[in-house]
Amino acid sequence: MMVFSGSCSIELSQKIAKHLDCDISPIEISVFPDKERRIKLKENVLEKDTIIIQSTGQSPDENYMELFLIIDALKRSGAKSVKALIPYLGYQRQDHIFRDGEAVSSEVIAEILEKVGMNELFSFDFHTPKILEMFSVPVHHLSALPVFSQKIKKDFDTNEIVLVSPDMGGIRRIKQISAMLGNIPFAAIIKNRDLNTGNINNSGLDGSVRGKIAIMVDDMISTGTTMVEACDLLLENGALKVYAFSTHAILAKDASDILQKSKIEKVIVSDTLEIPKEKEFAKLEILSVAEIAAKALS
Ligand code: R5P
């Protein structure tokens, strides 16, 4: 088995390779002045089972293009199989037509990945289980929730906490982590997003957080607005303190700044996305999913 890394997931790939007890096979990735990329594998992959690890992060177009070209290079060079670990699968939020005239981005991504030659997909915490239906190759849907539940068990008294989904769409995820923690209580925020402006309006809370430490769990933090506004609502509803857990830390725009200045005690994320030094902030803690990924890939 040979493991390759795209340029968006170098640190996570190294951790996974360590768990798998192998090295990362080198790829020459050159970027032309007009930003086009050229890929050249530096080792023979003929008849080899291969794994490519590449998240999509804050530059989804560039990272996807690089991934498509690496898969193509592996296939053209005779690899027996190509497994893609895309820790954060970008473009998945557009999983259906919300307004007339829109594209279904997640389906387009699935089609291209299969067309270029991906044989199996591994990824973490999809926005909705609907993503599984978009692929005809096997999909291994992994989750950071076991890592989060261990952290919660270690740091909190489960009698003092309530889990919270910052929107109704995340209720399935909250039920899963509640079960991992012995069926502890949960609540959900009724969040409405204006599809034209992207603005959020939290119209209420389903469940009670009064007198409890509220632990929000979500799939992704992009601008941070969802978490910050949810935190304010939870405090208004009597939560003692609020913590935020999220698998994918996209941290777009000034998310780091608004999260640091918010009333959230701590923001705990996984390493499905590499966080640049300038995006780190004091309240941020990063937990690794490398072991989960390595187990699934081996
Ligand atoms: C939305 O349904 C997702 O689960 C996240 O809550 C959302 O994408 C987070 O976005 P932002 O951080 O920009 O509010």
Query: Which of 105, 125, 226 best tests ligand 1's pocket when mutated (most atoms within 8 Å of CB)?
Result: 226
| Atom of ligand 1 at shortest range from CA of 223 | 13
**What's the 81 CA to ligand 1 centre distance in angstroms?**
34
Predicted confidence (pLDDT) per residue in 146-171, tens digit: 999 999 999 999 999 999 999 999 99
| Atom of ligand 1 at shortest range from CA of 222 | 12
Protein residues with CB under 6 Å of any ligand 1 atom: 127, 166-167, 169-170, 218-226
Pairing of strands 200-206, 186-193: antiparallel
Of 247, 253, 244, 187, residue with least CA distance to 223: 253
Check whether 108 has a pLDDT greater than 90: yes
State which amino acid sits at residue 249: A
Of 42, 49, 37, 47, residue with least CA distance to 7: 37
For the residues 136-149, what does the mean pLDDT come to?
Answer: 98
Q: Tell me if residue 153 is catalytic.
A: no
pLDDT of amino acid 199: 85
User: Whose Cα sits closest to atom 14 in ligand 1?
Assistant: 226
Predicted confidence (pLDDT) per residue in 241-271, tens digit: 999 999 999 999 999 999 999 999 999 999 9
**What's the 283 CA to ligand 1 centre distance in angstroms?**
19
| Atom of ligand 1 at shortest range from CA of 229 | 14
User: Whose Cα sits closest to atom 6 in ligand 1?
Assistant: 226
**What's the 89 CA to ligand 1 centre distance in angstroms?**
14
**What's the 40 CA to ligand 1 centre distance in angstroms?**
36
Q: Which one of 40, 153, 191, 277 is the catalytic residue?
A: 191
Of 275, 230, 228, 270, residue with least CA distance to 252: 275
- Taking the C-alpha atoms of residue 87 and residue 121, their distance in angstroms, rounded to an integer, is 10
Against a cut of 0.85, is the pTM above it? yes
pLDDT of amino acid 200: 81
